[in-house]
Amino acid sequence: MPQGRAATAVKGYGTLAIIAAVLVAAVLLVRAHSAELTRFVEQRPIVGGFVYFALNVLDAVLAPGLTLPLIPVAARAWGHIPAALVTTAGWTTGSLVAFLIARRWGYPLVRKLTSIERVKRLKRYIPEDLFWSVVLLRMVMPMDVMSYALGLFTDMKWSRYGVATALGVAPAAFVLAYLGRLTHAYELIIFGISGVAILLFVLSSRHRGRSPALRAVRHPHAARR
C-alpha cells in the first residue's frame, strides 16, 4: 500500500477510534445520571419526547451514535416499543434531512457537515437496485454518509428513500430499545462500542505495519537493499 494511502487509512481508523472512545465516555456519563434523566422524561413526556426525537435527527445528520447512550433512558421511561418507534422516526427524519441537503445544495454544504472523502468512496458501492440495497445497507453503515451519498449520486425519490430507511433502521432501533430495558444495558452498549474500537485499532495497526516508511524505520538494513 502506498505511503499516502496507508497514512489516510490510519488517520481514518484513528478518527473512528476516537469517536468510539467519546461514545464510551458519553455512555458512562449518561449511566451516572440515568435515574435523573429517566425521571425528567417520565415527568415531562412531551418535552422529553421532542428533545429525544430532535437528538435522533441530529444523530442521523451530523453525529452517528449521538443518541446511543440515551436509548436505555427512553426504553425505561416509555417502554421498548414506544422508544423504538421514536428512535426510528428520528433516525428516518434525520436521514431524509441529510438526503435532501445533498440533493438541494450538493457538495458545498455536504463537505461542511461530514467527510466528503468518505461520501465519495461510497459512490462505487451504490448498486442499481437501490430500494432493497438501502434497506440492507442501513443496517450496517453510518446514516449520515449514506444519506449524503445517495442524495448526491442517485436520482432516487425521497419518498422511496424514506421508506427504505425506516425499514432498514427499525430492526436496530427495536433491538437497542429491548436491550435498553435490561439490567446491564449500559455494559452491553460499552462492550459493543469497545469491540468496534478494538477492531479498528487492529486494522489501524496492520496498516501501519504495511507502510513502507515505517518498515524502513523498523528494518533499516532491509530498506537499503
Amino acid letter, 9 = A
Of residues 132 and 217, the one with the higher pLDDT is 132
Residues sharing a CB contact under 8 Å with residue 212, sequence separation 6 or more, in sequence order: 2, 3, 6
d(CA 20, CA 14): 10
The CA angle 60-61-67, to the nearest 5 degrees, is 40
Judged against a pLDDT cut of 60, whether residue 60 lies above it is answered with yes
- Model pLDDT, residue 162: 93
Judged against a pLDDT cut of 80, whether residue 74 lies above it is answered with yes
pLDDT band at 142 (very low <50, low <70, confident <90, very high): low
What's the grid cell of residue 145?
454518509
pLDDT band at 132 (very low <50, low <70, confident <90, very high): confident
Mean pLDDT of 175-194: 76
- Model pLDDT, residue 138: 78
Judged against a pLDDT cut of 90, whether residue 216 lies above it is answered with no
- Model pLDDT, residue 221: 47
Q: Lowest-confidence range among 83-92, 106-115, 126-135?
A: 126-135
Of residues 16 and 174, the one with the higher pLDDT is 174
- Model pLDDT, residue 84: 95
- Model pLDDT, residue 225: 45
Mean pLDDT of 148-154: 90
Give the mean pLDDT of the chain.
Answer: 78
Judged against a pLDDT cut of 60, whether residue 121 lies above it is answered with yes
Mean pLDDT of 60-72: 84
- Model pLDDT, residue 42: 85
As for how many domains the chain has, the answer is 1
Residues sharing a CB contact under 8 Å with residue 146, sequence separation 6 or more, in sequence order: 95, 122, 134, 137, 138
The b-or-e profile of 73-88 (16+ CB within 10 A means b, else e) is bbbbbbebeebbbbbb
Of residues 31 and 58, the one with the higher pLDDT is 58
pLDDT band at 134 (very low <50, low <70, confident <90, very high): confident
Judged against a pLDDT cut of 80, whether residue 196 lies above it is answered with no
Residue-number span of the structural domain to which 116 is assigned: 3-224
